[in-house]
Structure 1
Amino acid sequence: MNGPGRPKLASLSDFQFGAVATEMIEDVLLHLAQQNEQAVQEAAGRMGSFRETRIVEFVFLLSEQWCLEKSVSYQAVEILERFMVKQAENICRQATTQLREKTEPQNWRALKEQLFDKFILRLVSCVQLASKLSFHYKIISNITVLNFLQALGYIHTKEELLESELDVLKSLNFQINLPTPLAYVEMLLEVLGYNGCSVPATWLHATCLTLLDLVYLLHEPVYESLLRASIENSTPSQLQGEKFVSVKEDFMLLAVGIIAASAFIQKHECWSQVVGHLQSITGIALESIAAFSYAILTHSVGANTPGRQQSVPSHLAARALRATASSNM
């Protein structure tokens, strides 16, 4: 993939911590916390519906094929998620209006087929838009995108490609520079380094990326296990699932869970110290951090997780998650 004159994907070893002034770190962390709080409060019933495993895997593989940084793949998933949610909301809104005004209903099957037919085009447009935010627009040219689509059997023109990007931009009011869990993870790692954490941030960073990929790919199973733990019931109701959406949109909670799980993998004897630092930085309960890291580790390494070592009793973890969900609703 690295042809002549083509930039190579940045190595993880090139990532540096400790190069940013503490004042800037404090400002950015505060800004991220405010963004996260707003996202949690605005979480709607259909949020997360398009973070489906096959979709995420497609975006990840495409980003890898085009030699994009990890941040681009996460941002592309978030742009696509919000765009598709908007599309679904628009269809529901049209249906409600037609029922109220008793007008001739549209052919919903045709609308569904139209969404389906354009989905790959929309997905690729989201990746291309995310890449432009990271200054990779010279790598992913329109020709590259059109050739890729043609290889999949989708024939489009440059005009259709530009129209697709514009549709995504307009639907999201041109607000596509969306926060991703990676931004929260990396900022918290930066703060941990300044706080004297015994596990180097550079050690944790690569493991965090791997686990973040895992959570994106296993989004539904990971959060289903969290939901079951929070209600202490293996069969949550639809209403309980809908109320738990705010937890799914809490990127700060996800970030601390990812870092805690990474710390356990890298240096499990320092796990409690890392979790303590994370609690001090974010204000998230120790039990909630432990519960999330337990869920992540259960779906990755399996045995010998913090929960199995009984660092935090399961009933306390469940109580903490219930409190987190309640405070977000």
Structure 2
Amino acid sequence: MSEAEQVEVAEKQQPKGPVDFTDRTFELNETYVEDMFEEMRRENRVSKYFIRHQPLNYLNKKVLDYIFTMCTRLRLPPDVRFTAALIFDKYMSRQTAQAHHFIDTLELTQEQKDQQWDKTQCNIIRQLVLRLASCIQIASKENKFDDSLSNEAVTKMLVAVGSPYHPQAILKSELRVLSTIDYTIPQSPAPYMENILKVLANSDRALKHCNEVWDHALLFLDMTFAYQRQITNEFNCQLNEDAPPNKERKAVQVMGDWMLVGSACIVCGLGCVHGMEVADQKAIVLGDITKIDEQHIVQLASTIMKTVRAERQRSAVSTP
């Protein structure tokens, strides 16, 4: 075995732990940081464009709970669950649109078309668990995770949740999802947030407990996905209320603007670990780093925390 092969085997044998923001082994030279952010902004514009024209209509809380729970039980990296959720929404949006278009082209009465759609809808629902598993499998491979989900692993996962499928059916489902989304994987917000926090940590060596900030920020990112509509609506309402009377009011996109969402979740994490005074101070730095309006970062962070508190109180009241 060559030295390069030995290194590769050794790396694969090492356990993959959480992100360590104190490790400077592969730190990017400051000369290239702005180039990195320019590329991130370009990709961010693409994400905003696609989600603006294809809103996340299929990511309800029940679907997200399922995806996030499965990814956690399988001990997959955080990025996988967000990528899987976005793949699922993209697949469902296109699959539903294609089914509607096909039925509309049939020479049938409206009543017959409605009956055909009911059958199609039942078929989509019946295969939902399999498609969700395929989205997680694709996301795990896209993440380049060493233990990405094989067909055998997905088979065991589906058996565990009471939905047994043959490995061949799992392979066909994976290919079906990939072909429907044109083999184009949506951008996940996790890498944006990770890079932004890493640059923030490098810019202020006195900032402690960045790993804890990251863990909290991930939880707030989970909540942002789960309550995206409430957060987006409340965020824009607050912005318009605070705007000067003579300023034109317009909606600010939240989902898809992963640089804004990532920055806001970092501020939430900083608030939990260091207190809101430090969080507000670092929001100014984040605005300078990302070239995002500081007011938008602070307001979105405030809206996320407010929504999370409200939902927790609502859950506590509804729980007997």
Question: Is the alpha carbon distance of 1:217 and 1:263 closer, same or farther for their aligned partners in structure 2, counting shifts above 3 Å?
Answer: same
- Counterpart of 2:43 in structure 1: which amino acid? Q
Cα deviations by residue, 1:153-189 (Å, 9 ceiling, x for unpaired) = 323211111111101111122112x321111111111
Secondary structure, in 3 states, of the residue corresponding to 2:51?
coil
CA distance in 1, matches of 2:197, 2:237: 29
- Spell out the pairing of 1:1-329 with structure 2 (5 A cutoff): 10-13=17-20, 16=23, 19-44=27-52, 46-94=54-102, 97=105, 105=113, 107-136=116-145, 138=147, 140-176=149-185, 178-196=186-204, 198-200=206-208, 201-230=210-239, 246-267=253-274, 268-300=276-308
CA distance in 2, matches of 1:245, 1:90: 30
Question: Is the alpha carbon distance of 1:14 and 1:288 closer, same or farther for their aligned partners in structure 2, counting shifts above 3 Å?
Answer: closer
Question: Is the alpha carbon distance of 1:74 and 1:44 closer, same or farther for their aligned partners in structure 2, counting shifts above 3 Å?
Answer: same
> Which segment is superposed worse, 27-36 or 180-189?
27-36
* TM-score where L is the length of structure 2: 0.78
> Which segment is superposed worse, 208-217 or 285-294?
208-217
Query: Residue 276 of structure 1: CA displacement?
Result: 1.0
CA distance in 2, matches of 1:22, 1:161: 45
Query: Residue 266 of structure 1: CA displacement?
Result: 2.2
CA distance in 2, matches of 1:196, 1:161: 47
Query: Residue 12 of structure 1: CA displacement?
Result: 4.6
CA distance in 1, matches of 2:146, 2:46: 30
CA distance in 1, matches of 2:194, 2:156: 35
Number of aligned residue pairs: 287
Provide the residue aligned with 1:305 in structure 2. Answer: none
Secondary structure, in 3 states, of the residue corresponding to 2:59?
coil
The answer to whether the 8 Å contact 1:44/1:245 transfers is no
CA distance in 2, matches of 1:216, 1:42: 16
> Which segment is superposed worse, 44-53 or 79-88?
44-53
- Counterpart of 1:59 in structure 2: which amino acid? I
Q: Which runs of 5+ in 1 are unaligned?
A: 233-239, 303-329
Question: Is the alpha carbon distance of 1:288 and 1:135 closer, same or farther for their aligned partners in structure 2, counting shifts above 3 Å?
Answer: closer
Secondary structure, in 3 states, of the residue corresponding to 1:248?
coil
Question: Is the alpha carbon distance of 1:72 and 1:42 closer, same or farther for their aligned partners in structure 2, counting shifts above 3 Å?
Answer: closer
- Counterpart of 1:166 in structure 2: which amino acid? L
Cα deviations by residue, 1:214-249 (Å, 9 ceiling, x for unpaired) = 2223333322322443455xxxxxxx9xx9594322
Secondary structure, in 3 states, of the residue corresponding to 1:249?
coil
CA distance in 2, matches of 1:36, 1:156: 37
- Counterpart of 1:171 in structure 2: which amino acid? T
Q: Which runs of 5+ in 2 are unaligned?
A: 1-11, 242-248, 311-320
The answer to whether the 8 Å contact 1:74/1:180 transfers is yes
Question: Is the alpha carbon distance of 1:192 and 1:138 closer, same or farther for their aligned partners in structure 2, counting shifts above 3 Å?
Answer: closer
Secondary structure, in 3 states, of the residue corresponding to 1:199?
coil
Question: Is the alpha carbon distance of 1:288 and 1:112 closer, same or farther for their aligned partners in structure 2, counting shifts above 3 Å?
Answer: same
